[in-house]
Structure 1
Amino acid sequence: MSKIKIKKATISDLKIIRKISKQTFTETFADMNTPENMANYILENFNTEQMASEINNPESAFYLAVLENDTIGYLKINLGNAQTEKQKENTLEIHRIYVLQAFHGKKAGQLLLDEAIKIAKQTGIDSVWLGVWEENHQALHFYSKNGFVEFDQHVFILGDEVQTDLLMQLGIKNH
Protein backbone atom coordinates (compact mmCIF):
# COMPACT_ATOMS: atom_id res chain seq x y z
CA MET A 1 0.00 0.00 0.00
CA SER A 2 1.34 3.40 -0.95
CA LYS A 3 2.14 5.90 1.71
CA ILE A 4 1.10 9.55 1.63
CA LYS A 5 4.12 11.85 1.67
CA ILE A 6 4.08 15.47 2.87
CA LYS A 7 6.31 17.94 1.02
CA LYS A 8 6.73 21.70 1.12
CA ALA A 9 5.15 23.47 -1.83
CA THR A 10 6.73 26.17 -3.98
CA ILE A 11 5.39 28.59 -6.56
CA SER A 12 5.81 25.83 -9.16
CA ASP A 13 2.91 24.04 -7.40
CA LEU A 14 0.54 26.99 -7.99
CA LYS A 15 -1.59 25.21 -10.61
CA ILE A 16 -2.27 22.09 -8.50
CA ILE A 17 -2.91 24.17 -5.35
CA ARG A 18 -5.48 26.24 -7.25
CA LYS A 19 -7.13 23.09 -8.65
CA ILE A 20 -7.38 21.45 -5.21
CA SER A 21 -8.62 24.70 -3.65
CA LYS A 22 -11.46 25.10 -6.14
CA GLN A 23 -12.43 21.43 -6.16
CA THR A 24 -12.31 20.93 -2.38
CA PHE A 25 -14.13 24.17 -1.61
CA THR A 26 -16.86 23.18 -4.08
CA GLU A 27 -17.10 19.59 -2.80
CA THR A 28 -17.36 20.77 0.79
CA PHE A 29 -19.64 23.80 0.58
CA ALA A 30 -21.66 23.79 -2.69
CA ASP A 31 -24.61 21.87 -1.22
CA MET A 32 -25.18 24.53 1.46
CA ASN A 33 -24.51 27.74 -0.46
CA THR A 34 -25.79 29.47 -3.59
CA PRO A 35 -23.91 28.92 -6.88
CA GLU A 36 -23.37 32.70 -7.16
CA ASN A 37 -21.78 32.97 -3.72
CA MET A 38 -19.60 29.94 -4.41
CA ALA A 39 -18.46 31.26 -7.81
CA ASN A 40 -17.64 34.71 -6.42
CA TYR A 41 -15.66 33.30 -3.49
CA ILE A 42 -13.65 30.99 -5.75
CA LEU A 43 -12.98 33.82 -8.21
CA GLU A 44 -11.79 36.20 -5.46
CA ASN A 45 -9.80 33.76 -3.33
CA PHE A 46 -8.42 31.13 -5.69
CA ASN A 47 -7.41 33.22 -8.71
CA THR A 48 -3.81 33.03 -9.94
CA GLU A 49 -2.64 36.37 -8.50
CA GLN A 50 -4.17 35.79 -5.06
CA MET A 51 -2.84 32.25 -4.74
CA ALA A 52 0.63 33.24 -6.01
CA SER A 53 0.84 36.04 -3.43
CA GLU A 54 -0.13 33.56 -0.68
CA ILE A 55 2.48 31.03 -1.81
CA ASN A 56 5.15 33.76 -2.06
CA ASN A 57 4.32 35.27 1.35
CA PRO A 58 7.34 34.56 3.62
CA GLU A 59 5.00 34.26 6.64
CA SER A 60 2.88 31.54 5.00
CA ALA A 61 3.75 28.02 3.93
CA PHE A 62 1.99 25.33 1.92
CA TYR A 63 2.56 21.60 2.33
CA LEU A 64 1.28 19.07 -0.19
CA ALA A 65 -0.08 15.59 0.55
CA VAL A 66 1.17 13.36 -2.27
CA LEU A 67 -0.02 9.79 -2.88
CA GLU A 68 2.09 8.05 -5.51
CA ASN A 69 2.38 10.90 -8.06
CA ASP A 70 -0.93 12.60 -7.28
CA THR A 71 -1.28 15.62 -5.03
CA ILE A 72 -4.46 14.86 -3.06
CA GLY A 73 -4.54 17.77 -0.64
CA TYR A 74 -2.63 20.53 1.07
CA LEU A 75 -2.04 22.41 4.29
CA LYS A 76 -1.64 26.19 4.46
CA ILE A 77 -0.20 27.73 7.62
CA ASN A 78 0.21 31.40 8.51
CA LEU A 79 2.52 33.08 11.00
CA GLY A 80 2.82 36.69 12.14
CA ASN A 81 1.06 39.22 9.92
CA ALA A 82 -0.08 36.56 7.44
CA GLN A 83 -2.64 35.29 9.98
CA THR A 84 -6.20 36.12 8.99
CA GLU A 85 -6.94 37.47 12.44
CA LYS A 86 -4.72 38.86 15.17
CA GLN A 87 -4.31 36.40 18.03
CA LYS A 88 -2.03 36.39 21.03
CA GLU A 89 1.65 36.54 20.22
CA ASN A 90 3.44 33.38 19.15
CA THR A 91 0.57 31.58 17.42
CA LEU A 92 0.34 29.66 14.18
CA GLU A 93 -2.83 29.64 12.09
CA ILE A 94 -3.93 26.61 10.12
CA HIS A 95 -5.60 28.52 7.32
CA ARG A 96 -6.57 25.51 5.22
CA ILE A 97 -6.42 21.76 5.29
CA TYR A 98 -7.97 20.77 1.97
CA VAL A 99 -8.17 17.12 0.95
CA LEU A 100 -9.97 15.99 -2.20
CA GLN A 101 -13.16 14.18 -1.27
CA ALA A 102 -12.15 11.00 -3.09
CA PHE A 103 -9.29 10.65 -0.60
CA HIS A 104 -11.20 11.31 2.63
CA GLY A 105 -10.60 8.53 5.15
CA LYS A 106 -7.03 7.91 3.94
CA LYS A 107 -5.50 9.93 6.82
CA ALA A 108 -4.20 12.76 4.57
CA GLY A 109 -5.93 15.38 6.75
CA GLN A 110 -4.40 13.86 9.88
CA LEU A 111 -0.92 13.84 8.34
CA LEU A 112 -1.30 17.49 7.30
CA LEU A 113 -2.53 18.47 10.77
CA ASP A 114 0.36 16.55 12.35
CA GLU A 115 2.77 18.47 10.07
CA ALA A 116 1.37 21.81 11.31
CA ILE A 117 1.72 20.69 14.95
CA LYS A 118 5.28 19.46 14.30
CA ILE A 119 6.21 22.85 12.76
CA ALA A 120 4.65 24.66 15.73
CA LYS A 121 6.69 22.57 18.17
CA GLN A 122 9.92 23.03 16.20
CA THR A 123 9.49 26.81 16.08
CA GLY A 124 8.46 27.27 19.73
CA ILE A 125 4.87 28.29 18.97
CA ASP A 126 2.53 28.45 22.01
CA SER A 127 -0.71 27.54 20.26
CA VAL A 128 -2.19 26.58 16.91
CA TRP A 129 -5.57 28.02 15.92
CA LEU A 130 -8.03 27.83 13.06
CA GLY A 131 -11.52 28.79 12.00
CA VAL A 132 -14.19 26.25 11.00
CA TRP A 133 -17.64 27.00 9.65
CA GLU A 134 -20.16 26.05 12.34
CA GLU A 135 -22.04 23.91 9.77
CA ASN A 136 -18.95 21.88 8.80
CA HIS A 137 -19.62 19.13 11.32
CA GLN A 138 -17.07 16.71 9.85
CA ALA A 139 -14.24 19.25 10.31
CA LEU A 140 -15.44 20.27 13.78
CA HIS A 141 -15.42 16.62 14.88
CA PHE A 142 -11.95 16.07 13.36
CA TYR A 143 -10.41 19.03 15.19
CA SER A 144 -12.17 18.26 18.51
CA LYS A 145 -10.89 14.67 18.30
CA ASN A 146 -7.39 16.13 17.91
CA GLY A 147 -7.67 18.22 21.08
CA PHE A 148 -8.73 21.58 19.62
CA VAL A 149 -11.17 23.57 21.76
CA GLU A 150 -13.47 26.40 20.75
CA PHE A 151 -12.36 29.79 22.12
CA ASP A 152 -14.20 32.37 20.01
CA GLN A 153 -16.20 32.97 16.83
CA HIS A 154 -15.94 35.30 13.90
CA VAL A 155 -18.02 36.30 10.95
CA PHE A 156 -17.22 34.80 7.57
CA ILE A 157 -18.76 36.46 4.53
CA LEU A 158 -19.57 34.23 1.58
CA GLY A 159 -20.99 36.43 -1.15
CA ASP A 160 -24.19 37.94 0.23
CA GLU A 161 -24.38 35.53 3.17
CA VAL A 162 -23.04 36.10 6.67
CA GLN A 163 -21.84 32.88 8.30
CA THR A 164 -20.23 32.04 11.64
CA ASP A 165 -16.85 30.39 11.94
CA LEU A 166 -15.91 28.80 15.24
CA LEU A 167 -12.34 29.57 16.26
CA MET A 168 -10.55 26.59 17.78
CA GLN A 169 -7.11 26.30 19.31
CA LEU A 170 -4.66 23.73 20.53
CA GLY A 171 -2.00 24.49 23.13
CA ILE A 172 1.36 23.17 21.93
CA LYS A 173 3.40 23.18 25.14
CA ASN A 174 1.57 20.18 26.64
CA HIS A 175 0.66 18.46 23.38
Structure 2
Amino acid sequence: MDQLTIVKASANDLATVQQIGRETFFETFAAFNTDADMDKYLTENFSEVKMALELDIPESQFFLAWLGDNVVGYMKLNTGHAQTELHDPASLEIERIYVKNEYHGKRIGQLLFEKALEITRSEQKTYIWLGVWEENVKAIQFYEKNGFKPFDKHIFKFGADEQTDIMMKKVLTED
Protein backbone atom coordinates (compact mmCIF):
# COMPACT_ATOMS: atom_id res chain seq x y z
CA MET A 1 0.00 0.00 0.00
CA ASP A 2 1.23 3.51 -0.83
CA GLN A 3 2.30 5.91 1.91
CA LEU A 4 -0.51 8.01 3.36
CA THR A 5 0.10 11.74 3.52
CA ILE A 6 -2.11 14.35 5.12
CA VAL A 7 -1.82 17.77 3.52
CA LYS A 8 -3.43 21.06 4.50
CA ALA A 9 -5.70 22.18 1.66
CA SER A 10 -5.63 25.65 0.14
CA ALA A 11 -7.82 27.55 -2.32
CA ASN A 12 -5.86 25.78 -5.09
CA ASP A 13 -7.37 22.49 -3.88
CA LEU A 14 -10.97 23.62 -4.35
CA ALA A 15 -11.89 21.01 -6.99
CA THR A 16 -10.29 18.20 -4.96
CA VAL A 17 -12.06 19.20 -1.74
CA GLN A 18 -15.35 19.46 -3.63
CA GLN A 19 -14.92 16.04 -5.25
CA ILE A 20 -13.91 14.15 -2.07
CA GLY A 21 -16.59 15.97 -0.08
CA ARG A 22 -19.38 15.03 -2.48
CA GLU A 23 -18.18 11.47 -2.93
CA THR A 24 -17.74 10.62 0.74
CA PHE A 25 -20.95 12.36 1.84
CA PHE A 26 -22.91 10.44 -0.80
CA GLU A 27 -21.31 7.12 0.18
CA THR A 28 -22.06 7.74 3.85
CA PHE A 29 -25.64 8.98 3.69
CA ALA A 30 -27.33 8.16 0.34
CA ALA A 31 -28.83 4.90 1.58
CA PHE A 32 -30.60 6.73 4.42
CA ASN A 33 -32.04 9.69 2.53
CA THR A 34 -34.16 10.41 -0.52
CA ASP A 35 -32.51 11.07 -3.88
CA ALA A 36 -34.08 14.54 -3.94
CA ASP A 37 -32.70 15.45 -0.50
CA MET A 38 -29.25 14.09 -1.42
CA ASP A 39 -29.16 16.00 -4.71
CA LYS A 40 -30.25 19.23 -3.03
CA TYR A 41 -27.71 18.87 -0.20
CA LEU A 42 -24.81 18.03 -2.50
CA THR A 43 -25.67 20.87 -4.89
CA GLU A 44 -26.00 23.46 -2.14
CA ASN A 45 -23.25 22.39 0.23
CA PHE A 46 -20.53 21.35 -2.21
CA SER A 47 -20.99 24.07 -4.82
CA GLU A 48 -17.88 25.81 -6.09
CA VAL A 49 -18.96 29.10 -4.48
CA LYS A 50 -19.75 27.60 -1.05
CA MET A 51 -16.60 25.48 -0.94
CA ALA A 52 -14.42 28.44 -2.02
CA LEU A 53 -15.92 30.51 0.80
CA GLU A 54 -15.29 27.73 3.33
CA LEU A 55 -11.69 27.34 2.19
CA ASP A 56 -11.21 31.09 2.66
CA ILE A 57 -12.31 31.24 6.32
CA PRO A 58 -9.21 31.91 8.46
CA GLU A 59 -10.58 29.94 11.44
CA SER A 60 -11.28 26.83 9.31
CA GLN A 61 -8.75 24.34 8.04
CA PHE A 62 -9.20 21.52 5.53
CA PHE A 63 -6.85 18.55 5.29
CA LEU A 64 -6.70 16.02 2.47
CA ALA A 65 -5.63 12.40 2.98
CA TRP A 66 -3.65 11.16 -0.01
CA LEU A 67 -2.70 7.56 -0.69
CA GLY A 68 -0.14 7.96 -3.43
CA ASP A 69 -1.87 10.08 -6.10
CA ASN A 70 -5.40 9.32 -4.85
CA VAL A 71 -7.31 11.47 -2.40
CA VAL A 72 -9.06 9.02 -0.06
CA GLY A 73 -10.44 11.25 2.68
CA TYR A 74 -10.57 14.69 4.19
CA MET A 75 -11.18 16.63 7.37
CA LYS A 76 -12.48 20.09 8.22
CA LEU A 77 -11.59 21.76 11.53
CA ASN A 78 -13.04 24.97 12.99
CA THR A 79 -12.04 27.29 15.80
CA GLY A 80 -13.52 30.50 17.17
CA HIS A 81 -16.48 31.92 15.27
CA ALA A 82 -16.09 29.39 12.44
CA GLN A 83 -17.43 26.67 14.75
CA THR A 84 -20.93 25.55 13.85
CA GLU A 85 -22.11 25.93 17.44
CA LEU A 86 -20.23 26.38 20.73
CA HIS A 87 -17.89 29.19 19.53
CA ASP A 88 -15.75 28.55 22.61
CA PRO A 89 -12.23 29.94 22.19
CA ALA A 90 -10.96 27.01 24.30
CA SER A 91 -12.24 24.42 21.80
CA LEU A 92 -11.66 23.05 18.33
CA GLU A 93 -14.49 21.52 16.31
CA ILE A 94 -14.10 18.59 13.97
CA GLU A 95 -16.84 19.51 11.51
CA ARG A 96 -16.04 16.68 9.09
CA ILE A 97 -13.91 13.57 8.88
CA TYR A 98 -14.80 11.45 5.87
CA VAL A 99 -12.97 8.56 4.25
CA LYS A 100 -13.98 6.72 1.08
CA ASN A 101 -15.78 3.49 1.96
CA GLU A 102 -13.19 1.28 0.24
CA TYR A 103 -10.54 2.64 2.64
CA HIS A 104 -12.46 2.12 5.89
CA GLY A 105 -10.54 0.00 8.36
CA LYS A 106 -7.16 1.15 7.04
CA ARG A 107 -6.50 3.70 9.84
CA ILE A 108 -7.02 6.72 7.57
CA GLY A 109 -9.78 8.16 9.77
CA GLN A 110 -7.59 7.50 12.81
CA LEU A 111 -4.65 9.36 11.27
CA LEU A 112 -6.90 12.31 10.34
CA PHE A 113 -8.21 12.35 13.91
CA GLU A 114 -4.64 12.26 15.29
CA LYS A 115 -3.84 15.27 13.08
CA ALA A 116 -6.84 17.07 14.61
CA LEU A 117 -5.55 16.24 18.10
CA GLU A 118 -2.09 17.52 17.19
CA ILE A 119 -3.58 20.83 16.00
CA THR A 120 -5.82 21.09 19.07
CA ARG A 121 -2.78 20.73 21.32
CA SER A 122 -0.58 23.06 19.25
CA GLU A 123 -3.28 25.75 19.42
CA GLN A 124 -3.53 25.12 23.19
CA LYS A 125 -7.23 24.27 23.16
CA THR A 126 -8.62 22.40 26.16
CA TYR A 127 -11.11 20.22 24.32
CA ILE A 128 -12.19 19.00 20.91
CA TRP A 129 -15.83 18.47 19.95
CA LEU A 130 -18.06 17.34 17.08
CA GLY A 131 -21.59 16.35 16.09
CA VAL A 132 -22.31 12.88 14.71
CA TRP A 133 -25.60 11.50 13.38
CA GLU A 134 -27.19 9.21 15.99
CA GLU A 135 -27.66 6.49 13.33
CA ASN A 136 -23.96 6.48 12.34
CA VAL A 137 -23.02 3.75 14.80
CA LYS A 138 -19.56 3.12 13.30
CA ALA A 139 -18.60 6.78 13.68
CA ILE A 140 -19.95 6.95 17.24
CA GLN A 141 -17.93 3.86 18.17
CA PHE A 142 -14.83 5.36 16.53
CA TYR A 143 -15.14 8.56 18.57
CA GLU A 144 -15.93 6.70 21.81
CA LYS A 145 -12.82 4.55 21.24
CA ASN A 146 -10.86 7.81 20.97
CA GLY A 147 -12.15 9.16 24.29
CA PHE A 148 -15.15 11.24 23.22
CA LYS A 149 -18.20 11.46 25.49
CA PRO A 150 -21.71 12.67 24.56
CA PHE A 151 -22.66 16.02 26.07
CA ASP A 152 -25.71 17.24 24.12
CA LYS A 153 -27.82 16.76 20.97
CA HIS A 154 -28.91 18.98 18.13
CA ILE A 155 -31.17 18.74 15.10
CA PHE A 156 -29.63 18.56 11.64
CA LYS A 157 -32.17 19.46 8.97
CA PHE A 158 -31.68 17.33 5.86
CA GLY A 159 -34.30 18.34 3.35
CA ALA A 160 -37.65 17.87 5.09
CA ASP A 161 -36.12 15.31 7.45
CA GLU A 162 -35.03 16.34 10.94
CA GLN A 163 -32.14 14.15 12.07
CA THR A 164 -30.55 14.11 15.51
CA ASP A 165 -26.82 14.57 15.93
CA ILE A 166 -25.11 13.55 19.13
CA MET A 167 -22.64 16.19 20.23
CA MET A 168 -19.49 14.64 21.67
CA LYS A 169 -16.34 16.06 23.18
CA LYS A 170 -12.94 14.96 24.34
CA VAL A 171 -11.26 16.97 27.07
CA LEU A 172 -7.51 17.03 26.55
CA THR A 173 -5.26 16.03 29.39
CA GLU A 174 -1.52 15.88 29.66
CA ASP A 175 -0.84 12.33 28.47
Compute the displacement of 1:57 (Å): 0.5
Report what 1:84 is aligned to: 84
Report what 2:74 is aligned to: 74
Alignment of 1:10-159 (within 5 A): 10-159=10-159
Compute the displacement of 1:88 (Å): 3.6
Aligned mates of 2:89, 2:48 — CA distance in 1:
31
Q: 8 Å contact 2:80–2:87 — kept in the other structure?
A: no
Aligned mates of 2:149, 2:40 — CA distance in 1:
31
Compute the displacement of 1:34 (Å): 0.7
Q: 8 Å contact 2:79–2:87 — kept in the other structure?
A: no
Deviations along 1:51-79, whole A, 9 cap, x unmatched? Answer: 11111110000111111111111110001
Q: Which segments of 5 or more consecutive residues in structure 1 lack a partner in the other structure?
A: none
Runs of 4+ in structure 1 off by over 4 angstroms are none
Compute the displacement of 1:166 (Å): 0.2
Compute the displacement of 1:3 (Å): 2.0
Residue 131 of structure 2 aligns to a residue whose secondary structure is strand
Aligned mates of 1:127, 1:174 — CA distance in 2:
12
Compute the displacement of 1:106 (Å): 1.3
Compute the displacement of 1:87 (Å): 4.5
Q: Report how many residues are paired.
A: 175
Give the TM-score of the pair, scaled to structure 1. 0.97
Deviations along 1:94-142, whole A, 9 cap, x unmatched? Answer: 0000111111111110000000000001110010000000001110111
Give the TM-score of the pair, scaled to structure 2. 0.97
Q: 8 Å contact 2:60–2:77 — kept in the other structure?
A: yes
Aligned mates of 2:125, 2:3 — CA distance in 1:
28
Aligned mates of 2:12, 2:71 — CA distance in 1:
13
Residue 117 of structure 1 aligns to a residue whose secondary structure is helix
Deviations along 1:9-57, whole A, 9 cap, x unmatched? Answer: 1111111111111111111111111111111111111100111111111
- What is the letter of the counterpart of residue 13 of structure 1? D
Q: Which segments of 5 or more consecutive residues in structure 2 lack a partner in the other structure?
A: none
Compute the displacement of 1:89 (Å): 3.4
Between the aligned residues of both structures, percent identity stands at 45
